[in-house]
Amino acid sequence: MTKFGIGQPVPRTEDARLLRGQGRYTDDIVLPGQLHLHVLRSPHASARILGIDAAEAREAPGVHAVLTAADLAAAGIGDIPCLTPVRNRDGSEMANKARPVLAADHARFVGDPVAAVIAETPEQARDAAELILVDYAELPSSTDMVRARSGGPAVWDDAPGNLCFDWQKGDAAAVDAAMAAAHRVVALDLVNNRLVPNSMEARVCLADHDGDTGRSRLWVSSQGVHFIRRAIAGVMGLKEADLQVLTGDVGGGFGIKIFLYPEYVLALFAARRLGRPVKWTSDRSEAFLADDHGRDNLTRAELAVDRDGRFLGLRVTTRANMGAYLSNYGPYVATEAGTNMLSGVYTVPAVHVRVEGVFTNTTPVDAYRGAGRPEAAYVIERMADAVADELGLDPAEVRRRNFIPPDAMPYRTPLKHVYDSGDFAKNLEDALVRADYAGFPARRAAARKHGKLLGIGMATYIESCSGGGPEQATIQVAGDGRITVLIGTQSNGQGHETSYKQLLADRLGVPLEAVTIVQGDSDRIGFGSGTGGSRSIPVGGAALAETAAKVIETAKLKAADLLEAAAVDVEFTVDADGGRFAIVGTDRRVSFQEVARAAAEAAGTGTGGLAFDEVARWTPPAATFPNGCHVCEIAIDIDTGVPTIERYTVVDDFGTVLNPLLLAGQVHGGIVQGIGQALLENTVYDPDTGQLLTGSFMDYGMPRADVVPFIDFHLNRVPSTTNALGMKGAGEAGTIGATPAVINAVVDALSEFGVRHVDMPATPQVLWRLIHGRDSRIAAE
Amino acid sequence: MPITVSLSVNGRPVTKEVEGRTLLVQLLREHLGLTGTHVGCDTSQCGACVVHVDGKSVKSCTMLAAQAQGASVTTIEGLAAPDGTLHPMQAAFREHHGLQCGFCTPGMVMSAVDLLQHNPSPSETEVREWLEGNICRCTGYHNIVKAVLSCAETMKSGAKAPAAAAE
């Protein structure tokens, strides 16, 4: 193994520029003559648009154009389609409501784009937007799903009951039978609260157009340029070949930067029409309204158990908020993306799930870190604790009795998947030891003396990764031994540059500094499926490893020529000094760099030129299944209700690990996003006006450094048997395990008051009321 | 009405004509091309825009350019030594993987440097409370706090003075 090979905690090469302020984020790019676009958004949750008078705005200083839906319609610009329609239980099609680029005659949520102003400066565009007179006829709105489904105002006239779809999966009869025969049916009603993803870099794009070549460019802070190119070309009726999509450094994505949004279409349309570059930079207030939101499920879960707490059948009924329009993947996230994981790490013989997609007058909902799997893990892991509570068992014991054992692998779950590997009991036992579970009762008693309610909670999660289709990697070897990689995944901060370089250091023995990773350029990179679903290292990495293997085979032929030997007699080895080819059993050898130089000379391209290149594509044969155990210990102050996480322990199985330093970073960040959802973050609309009440960092509780603990993180590596590298993916797992662990701890802390469940976010106010409410024992003390 | 502002930025004197409403962060990013300082919110909450003004950490979105008249401003671009050697805080962030997407990083680093100027031996709690005004969505703060604590140790053991190179 080399110093920078697989498994080494290599610090990142990206950091050299990012730490010096030399990153190149999209807003940092300034094109000569660039104009600025501002979007005028609906102030109403639902309103007919009777007319738009932009005459004064068009005459305002610096203004080049004001666009409305009529301009787009005249140019043949379509709506942004939902790419993942689902079918109703009766086989009929769902109510498919695409997202308009600009609302034409009806604005359907606060923040719905209504017009766009393009001006010389951002200030002029913003000032001019205030001069646009929109004649709105305000209508009553439905922002919460219960109201929307029970006679609330219609978001769409032709979607009765605000129902988008009524989808199901699984064996309803088998679940009914399990329920009928059960010792007990344990039930919980759960809220999976709506979240605003809030990447620290808000969304931003910059478009320009070359009238001579007829080609346009779009720089956009994205999670993959190829998807954006395909999607925007479709909406605008352009040829993909006429469009170059580029992504530089990305300041966080978490899902929301996958999708095509109206603003990118507006900027590109304006640049093509005006012949000047056009930039749109979202501010944070706008991001709260305009970035897709995440989660927002109401779920009833019922779990049939026998006398010993063994799971017999699970029924899950969910309402999933779609928002006012369907985002690219909205229905998929609420259905297939997560529900297949509802049985978790347990042997549940029968599962049935039904999901109603619901339209509301809110921002569209789509994938946010985990995308369906956090929701599923929250359901089954809360249910495991509810069973323990109902039967008077230790939550760890309930899990032990239901785990799928390692020798049952590969294990077919009731809904879809075949788990290839995992040792769920070991994850739990290791985590309980690290968390000193045995010592908890003494800590609880001690804390109580100091006015604190201590609780401990666990979650033995599993999730599915590596979807999203194939990935492709190209390796270009130059005569000087330098290597350029072209790959269609897109780092949003994970550190793909370092990870991929490290993989090549491992396979080819090249130094990290000899490798350049190219991502985010749809012209240079022929194919890409982008970053999402924790796929980049397991799928992108596997594609790169496959390409590296082809590079070695090609180089071996060239080395054989240099060594005047038959290729079958030449072997390639990597050690601390690099990669070299040798005739087996002799000391006659030639380095990778020498082979590259000779190849470039033979090709006549010179030492800096291309010696040879290879490309390979890798398609995952199956999903991978990261799994693990989170244990959270929380102290709730009796006087104030303030929760403090005292310790947080996680044992994860991600299979083979490429870079443990970067991996731990993914886990830490994911867990804190989960802690944020469980304790702080909530998206609140005023039920009467439909206004977003939590529309800034003043109102929306982002987790900050002073409310989270250090995280004790350990690995239990069981290599994936279906992934070429044995890797399972780690980008979302932290978020998936965290919410049930935290809420299980909160409920445990409050168990002495008969509390069986606390909805997220468990804020100090919520907790104080549970402790001091009329019926609580504390209040009586 | 345009006004003229003269100040020192990363040790260089600059004079610019700006609008009265121009914020310090706009002066840095848009007029001086120093795009290392970032804008992550519009309510002075996130701290991505923290720079040093006369040696103290300031959210540059919360200050008018005009208020920086005559001041000495240091941005993330001016933190490393002139020969390119990273400031110990930058080096600690790299070593401990205290950054992922890098967007909050310039503000986070500038803020942390100022902490050690005030308190060379902060506790974990003191680091966390000091950084409460800098939001990071990627790291969960774990490695940021580790980096700051590690940097404090490094500097106590006789490394460079905590002040930014350009100050």
pLDDT digits (tens, 9 = 90+) for B67-112: 999 999 999 999 999 999 999 999 999 999 999 999 999 999 999 9
pLDDT bin (cut points 50, 70, 90) of residue B157 is: confident
Nearest Cα residue to B55 out of B36, B79, B35, B33:
B79
pLDDT given at position A295: 98
Per-residue model confidence as pLDDT tens digits over B28-51? 999 999 999 999 999 999 999 999
* CA B146 to each of CA A735, B70, B93, B118, B150: distance values in angstroms, whole numbers, following the listed order: 21, 36, 9, 18, 6
Measured between beta carbons, which residues in chain A are less than 8 angstroms from residue B129?
Answer: 705-706
- The CA distance from A610 to A599, in Å, is 9
- The CA distance from A606 to A598, in Å, is 9
Domains A29-139+200-252+257-290 and A420-463+625-781 share a fold: no
The last residue of a domain, from among B78, B107, B130:
B78
DSSP characters over A538-574: IIIHHHHHHHHHHHHHHHHHHHHHHHTS-GGGEEEEE
Measured between beta carbons, which residues in chain A are less than 8 angstroms from residue B49?
Answer: none
Please, how many CA atoms are within 13 Å of residue A722, restricted to the half-sphere of its CB? 23
> Nearest by CB to B94, which of A15, A198, A697?
A15
> Tokens 């130089």 identify what position?
A597
SS3 call for A430: helix
Nearest CA in chain A to B51: A21
Is pLDDT of B167 > 80?
A: no
Give yes or no for A673 touching B (CB within 8 A): yes
Q: What kind of fold does domain A467-618 have according to CATH?
A: Aldehyde Oxidoreductase; domain 4 (3.30.365)
Kindly state whether residue B151 falls inside one of the protein's structural domains. Answer: yes
Picking from A671, A704, A732 by the largest number of B CB atoms within 10 A of its own CB, the best residue to mutate is A704
Q: Which helix (H) or strand (E) holds A269?
A: helix A262-274
B74, B98: one domain = no
Measured between beta carbons, which residues in chain A are less than 8 angstroms from residue B141?
Answer: 668, 672, 704-705, 708
Strand partners, A38: A117
A19/B102 CB distance under 8 A: yes
B8, B73: one domain = yes
Kindly state whether residue B167 falls inside one of the protein's structural domains. Answer: no
pLDDT given at position A2: 67
Alpha-helix runs per DSSP H in chain B: 24-26, 88-95, 105-118, 124-130, 142-156
Give yes or no for A551 touching B (CB within 8 A): no
Please, how many CA atoms are within 13 Å of residue A461, restricted to the half-sphere of its CB? 36
B94/A250 CB distance under 8 A: no
Kindly state whether residue B65 falls inside one of the protein's structural domains. Answer: yes
- The CA distance from A543 to A449, in Å, is 57
- Number of domains making up chain B: 2
Per-residue model confidence as pLDDT tens digits over A428-481? 999 999 999 999 999 999 999 999 999 999 999 999 998 768 999 999 999 999
Q: How does strand A418-419 pair with strand A643-653?
A: unpaired
Picking from B41, B49, B60, B115 by the largest number of A CB atoms within 10 A of its own CB, the best residue to mutate is B41
B41/A284 CB distance under 8 A: yes
The region, left, alpha or beta by phi > 0 then psi within -120 to 50, assigned to residue A325 is: beta
> Nearest by CB to A495, which of B42, B100, B103?
B100
Q: Which helix (H) or strand (E) holds A578?
A: strand A578-583
Measured between beta carbons, which residues in chain A are less than 8 angstroms from residue B136?
Answer: 200, 705
DSSP state of A435: T
Picking from B142, B144, B148, B149 by the largest number of A CB atoms within 10 A of its own CB, the best residue to mutate is B142
A146-192+293-403: CATH number: 3.30.365.10
Give yes or no for A62 touching B (CB within 8 A): no
Strand partners, A303: A186, A314
Measured in angstroms, the CA of A304 and the nearest CA of chain B are apart by 37
Strand partners, B5: B16
A672/B48 CB distance under 8 A: no
Give yes or no for A22 touching B (CB within 8 A): yes
Give yes or no for A708 touching B (CB within 8 A): yes
Nearest CA in chain A to B108: A19
A284/B46 CB distance under 8 A: yes
Burial A83-100 (b: 16+ CB within 10 A, else e): bbbbebeeeeebbebebb
Measured in angstroms, the CA of A200 and the nearest CA of chain B are apart by 5
Measured between beta carbons, which residues in chain B are less than 8 angstroms from residue A648?
Answer: none
CATH of the domain at B27: 3.10.20.30
Is pLDDT of B142 > 60?
A: yes
Nearest Cα residue to A443 out of A634, A631, A643:
A634
- The CA distance from A702 to A683, in Å, is 11
- The CA distance from A299 to A380, in Å, is 11
A201/B103 CB distance under 8 A: yes
B93/A698 CB distance under 8 A: no
Measured between beta carbons, which residues in chain B are less than 8 angstroms from residue A671?
Answer: 140
Nearest Cα residue to A267 out of A234, A223, A219, A212:
A219
B97/A662 CB distance under 8 A: yes
Strand partners, A727: A655
Per-residue model confidence as pLDDT tens digits over A697-756? 999 999 999 999 999 999 999 999 999 999 999 999 999 999 999 999 999 999 998 999
Nearest CA in chain B to A713: B142
A21/B143 CB distance under 8 A: no
A200/B137 CB distance under 8 A: yes
B93, B146: one domain = yes
Q: Under a CB-based contact definition with an 8 Å cutoff, are residues A484 and A611 in contact?
A: no
pLDDT given at position A491: 96
> Nearest by CB to B46, which of A22, A200, A249?
A200
Q: What is the CATH architecture assignment of A420-463+625-781?
A: 2-Layer Sandwich (3.30)
Residue A138 exposed, middle or buried by CB count within 10 Å (0-12, 13-18, 19+): middle
A29-139+200-252+257-290: CATH number: 3.90.1170.50
Nearest Cα residue to A219 out of A203, A233, A234, A235:
A203
Measured in angstroms, the CA of A689 and the nearest CA of chain B are apart by 23
B137/A15 CB distance under 8 A: no
Give yes or no for A568 touching B (CB within 8 A): no
Strand partners, A516: A484
* C-alpha Rg value of chain A to the nearest Å: 28
- The CA distance from A274 to A310, in Å, is 67
B140/A671 CB distance under 8 A: yes
B57, two tokens: 């950490």
Handedness of CA A308, A313, A315, A316 (dihedral sign): positive
Let me know the angle formed at the C-alpha of A489 by A483 and A492, rounded to the nearest 5 degrees: 105
Measured between beta carbons, which residues in chain A are less than 8 angstroms from residue B77?
Answer: 20-22
Q: Which residues of chain A have pLDDT under 70?
A: 1-2, 468, 774-781
Measured in angstroms, the CA of B70 and the nearest CA of chain A are apart by 24
- The CA distance from A297 to A291, in Å, is 18
Nearest CA in chain A to B105: A19
The region, left, alpha or beta by phi > 0 then psi within -120 to 50, assigned to residue A448 is: alpha
Kindly state whether residue B166 falls inside one of the protein's structural domains. Answer: no
Measured between beta carbons, which residues in chain B are less than 8 angstroms from residue A284?
Answer: 40-43, 46
Nearest Cα residue to A277 out of A303, A314, A240, A246:
A246
SS3 call for A55: helix
B6, B56: one domain = yes
> Nearest by CB to A19, which of B39, B75, B99?
B99
B46, B94: one domain = no
Picking from B46, B74, B97, B134 by the largest number of A CB atoms within 10 A of its own CB, the best residue to mutate is B97
Per-residue model confidence as pLDDT tens digits over A296-331? 999 999 999 999 999 999 999 999 999 999 999 999
CB count in 10 Å sphere of residue B115? 21
pLDDT given at position A774: 63
Q: Which residue range(s) make up the domain with B127?
A: 88-156
B70, B104: one domain = no
The region, left, alpha or beta by phi > 0 then psi within -120 to 50, assigned to residue A594 is: alpha
Nearest CA in chain B to A200: B40
pLDDT given at position B162: 46
Going by C-beta distance under 8 Å and a sequence separation of 6 or more, which residues neighbour residue A374? A192, A295, A338, A674, A677, A732, A735, A736, A739
> Domain residue spans in chain A?
29-139+200-252+257-290, 146-192+293-403, 420-463+625-781, 467-618
Measured in angstroms, the CA of A319 and the nearest CA of chain B are apart by 28
> Nearest by CB to A200, which of B37, B103, B144?
B103
Kindly state whether residue B83 falls inside one of the protein's structural domains. Answer: no
SS3 call for A160: helix
Q: Under a CB-based contact definition with an 8 Å cutoff, are residues A21 and B37 in contact?
A: yes
Let me know the angle formed at the C-alpha of A425 by A424 and A429, rounded to the nearest 5 degrees: 125
Measured in angstroms, the CA of B128 and the nearest CA of chain A are apart by 5
Going by C-beta distance under 8 Å and a sequence separation of 6 or more, which residues neighbour residue A564? none
Give yes or no for A566 touching B (CB within 8 A): no
DSSP state of A32: T
Measured in angstroms, the CA of A439 and the nearest CA of chain B are apart by 24
Picking from B22, B137, B146 by the largest number of A CB atoms within 10 A of its own CB, the best residue to mutate is B137
Kindly state whether residue B161 falls inside one of the protein's structural domains. Answer: no
Measured in angstroms, the CA of B82 and the nearest CA of chain A are apart by 12
A250/B101 CB distance under 8 A: yes
The last residue of a domain, from among B78, B98, B114:
B78
Give yes or no for A121 touching B (CB within 8 A): no
CATH of the domain at B150: 1.10.150.120
pLDDT bin (cut points 50, 70, 90) of residue B166 is: very low
